[in-house]
Amino acid sequence: MDFALSPDAVAYRNLVRTIIADTVTNEAIDEIHRTGTFDLPALNFALAKHGLLERAVPGMGKGDPIELWILFNELEKAGAPYDGIAVSLMIAGVVNAVGTEEQKQRIIPSIVTGEAGVCMGYSEPDYGSDVASIVTRAVRDGDSWIINGAKMWTTMAHVAKWLILLTRTDPDLPKHRGLTMFILPMDTPGITVKPVHTMASEHTNATWYDDVTVGDEAVLGEVNGGWRTMTVALAFERGVMGGTNQGVPLLTHFTKWAQHVGLAQDPAVKVEMAKAAIDMHVSTLLTQRAAWIAASGGLPGLEGSMAKLFATEAYQREARALQHVAAQPGLLGFHEDGAAAEGFIDYDARHSPVTTIYGGTSEIQRNNIAERHLGLPRNR
């Protein structure tokens, strides 16, 4: 095995680091935690200006999966907000893979210039892990489709320009076969967005659809082929586009603070720091493997599941362990006097629980690995 990045990849990484250093200021990070919107237009535009967004769209042939991994890994290590661009680039990749020429021309440029974000409407109030059972309906009416229903956890819906929406078009077919994906502008009449506040800084949304009317130009992929479009989206995302190294900035903040207050001398604390560093390095290697498989033309679905499962569980362990050793100062929030790691101990202990829930819960990843990797009999 050879772990050296090519000179091109190193140059690319250095460019990403420069852009991050220029745009992801402490003030910007502060603002994101205040608003709960994990998106930074200045960063998106700077990446777009250097052509990096376009280059990173999965499957578009300009970037490669190793670059995609580098981009998101650098962003998350720096604690930069990437949730918005990750979804947007992934959906640009889906449009590129299954969209019509007209959709590609209408939608992709707005994303890769950093102007337009995309939000995802898959989950519903009653269907999360079992997303193939969703009930939001799209009904044919002449040349149009009329959509009615409700979605839950539509993150970024309050700022996004585009919405990718999973609907049921044929309730009589088996659940995976009667779904259709749409992509439509968020300002289409009939869409209502209300905020959902979470225990971490993140702000997400509940959305409602009342007689939302669109034409065939909004159908992404085949009618009743929505599950296939979902599969393409998941394959791009799994493991490669961030979410596997969030413990790195936490450890950096913690180390700085623990050295400053003298806690880092304690052997018990050193043990936790070393464990956290190892876990984060293994997380990155598992993610690199998924990227490498994708770069070699494979579909790293299972390897992505393994990376996501390990990395998010490890991040939670780390957040818990570091909060324990930080003791009372680890309870204090941002800007409080004496807060451990400038408040990041508190923040990561609040944020880490969601990482084993969204993007497919740990249980769903384990089902996947048990059945498809270990070949154990299906239990449902």
Partner 1 sequence: MAFDLGFTADQTTIADLFNGFFTNESPAEVARAAEPLGFNANLWQKALGLGVAGMAVPEQHGGGGASLSDAVIVAEAVGASIAPIPVVEHIVAARAHPITDLVEGNVIGTVALTPAVDGTWSYVPAGAIADIVIGVDGNEVVAVRSSAPGVAPRNHACQPLAHRSSRHGDRTVLGNVSSFERIVAEWNTLTAAALVGIAQRSLDIVVQYVKERHQFGVPVGSFQAVQHGLADLPGLIDGSRILTHKAAWASQPEVAQVVEPEFNEYTDFKVVSSMAFLFAGETAVHATDRSLHFHGGYGFSEEYDIQMYYRRARGWRLIAGDPRNEYVALADKMFGDN
Ligand X SMILES: Cc1cc2nc3c(=O)[nH]c(=O)nc-3n(C[C@H](O)[C@H](O)[C@H](O)COP(=O)(O)OP(=O)(O)OC[C@H]3O[C@@H](n4cnc5c(N)ncnc54)[C@H](O)[C@@H]3O)c2cc1C
Q: In whole angstroms, what is the distance from residue 304 CA to residue 286 CA?
A: 8
Instruction: Candidates 120, 218, 307, 345: give the one binding ligand X (CB under 6 A).
Output: 120
Question: 167 contacts which partner out of partner 1, ligand X, none, CB within 5 to 8 A by kind?
Answer: none
Which of 263, 272, 249 lies closest to 352, judged by CA?
249
Question: 104 contacts which partner out of partner 1, ligand X, none, CB within 5 to 8 A by kind?
Answer: none
Q: In whole angstroms, what is the distance from residue 275 CA to residue 144 CA?
A: 56
Rounded (5°) CA angle 78-50-248? 10
Candidates 180-188, 191-199, 339-347, 371-379: pick the segment binding partner 1 (CB under 8 A): 371-379
Task: Rule CB under 6 A: say whether 358 interacts with ligand X.
Answer: yes
> Alpha carbon of 259 to those of 144, 226, 255, 269, 280: distances in Å?
63, 52, 6, 11, 20
Task: Rule CB under 6 A: say whether 361 interacts with ligand X.
Answer: yes
Residue type, 46: A
> Alpha carbon of 73 to those of 103, 119, 249: distances in Å?
29, 21, 11
Q: In whole angstroms, what is the distance from residue 132 CA to residue 278 CA?
A: 37
Instruction: Candidates 18, 25, 129, 265: give the one binding ligand X (CB under 6 A).
Output: 129
Place of tokens 């969601």: 354
Tokens of 305: 């599941």
Q: Rounded to the nearest whole angstrom, what is the least distance from the CB of residue 28 to partner 1 in the complex?
A: 18
Tell me the CB-side half-sphere exposure of residue 191, using CA atoms within 13 A.
24
> 105 or 259, CB closer to partner 1?
259
Q: Rounded to the nearest whole angstrom, what is the least distance from the CB of residue 50 to partner 1 in the complex?
A: 20
Q: In whole angstroms, what is the distance from residue 139 CA to residue 131 CA?
A: 19
Place of tokens 């968020």: 186
Please name every residue paired with 181 in a beta bridge, in sequence order, or none if there are none: 166
Question: 2 contacts which partner out of partner 1, ligand X, none, CB within 5 to 8 A by kind?
Answer: partner 1
Task: Rule CB under 6 A: say whether 208 interacts with ligand X.
Answer: no
> Do the beta carbons of residue 163 and residue 184 sit within 8 Å?
yes
Instruction: Candidates 363, 372, 373, 376: give the one binding ligand X (CB under 6 A).
Output: 363
Q: Rounded to the nearest whole angstrom, what is the least distance from the CB of residue 270 to ligand X in the complex?
A: 33
User: Which pairing describes strands 162-168 and 118-121: parallel, antiparallel, or unpaired?
Assistant: parallel
Task: Rule CB under 6 A: say whether 122 interacts with ligand X.
Answer: yes
Which residues make Cβ contacts (< 8 Å) with residue 70, sequence separation at least 6?
A: 5, 9, 12, 13, 16
Contact set for partner 1, span 262-291 (CB under 8 A): 264-265, 267, 270-271, 273-275, 277-278, 280-286, 288-289
Tokens of 296: 């070699």
> 329 or 359, CB closer to ligand X?
359
Instruction: Candidates 44, 96, 155, 169: give the one binding ligand X (CB under 6 A).
Output: 155
Task: Rule CB under 8 A: say whether 297 interacts with partner 1.
Answer: no
- For 80, the 3-state DSSP assignment is coil
Which residues make Cβ contacts (< 8 Å) with residue 10, sequence separation at least 6?
A: none
> 224 or 252, CB closer to partner 1?
252
Instruction: Candidates 354, 369, 370, 371: give the one binding ligand X (CB under 6 A).
Output: 354
Task: Rule CB under 6 A: say whether 182 interacts with ligand X.
Answer: no
Task: Rule CB under 8 A: say whether 222 interacts with partner 1.
Answer: no
> 233 or 293, CB closer to ligand X?
233
Q: Rounded to the nearest whole angstrom, what is the least distance from the CB of residue 339 to partner 1 in the complex?
A: 20
Which of 181, 179, 176 lies closest to 168, judged by CA?
179
Task: Rule CB under 6 A: say whether 32 interacts with ligand X.
Answer: no
Q: Rounded to the nearest whole angstrom, what is the least distance from the CB of residue 92 to ligand X in the complex?
A: 16
Instruction: Candidates 140, 194, 335, 373: give the one binding partner 1 (CB under 8 A).
Output: 373
Which residues contribute to the site for partner 1 (CB under 8 A)? 1-6, 9, 66, 73, 77, 245, 248, 251-252, 255, 259, 264-265, 267, 270-271, 273-275, 277-278, 280-286, 288-289, 292, 303, 306-307, 309-310, 313, 363, 365-367, 369-371, 373-379
Which residues contribute to the site for ligand X (CB under 6 A)? 120-123, 128-129, 153-155, 198, 202, 204, 354, 357-358, 361, 363-364, 367
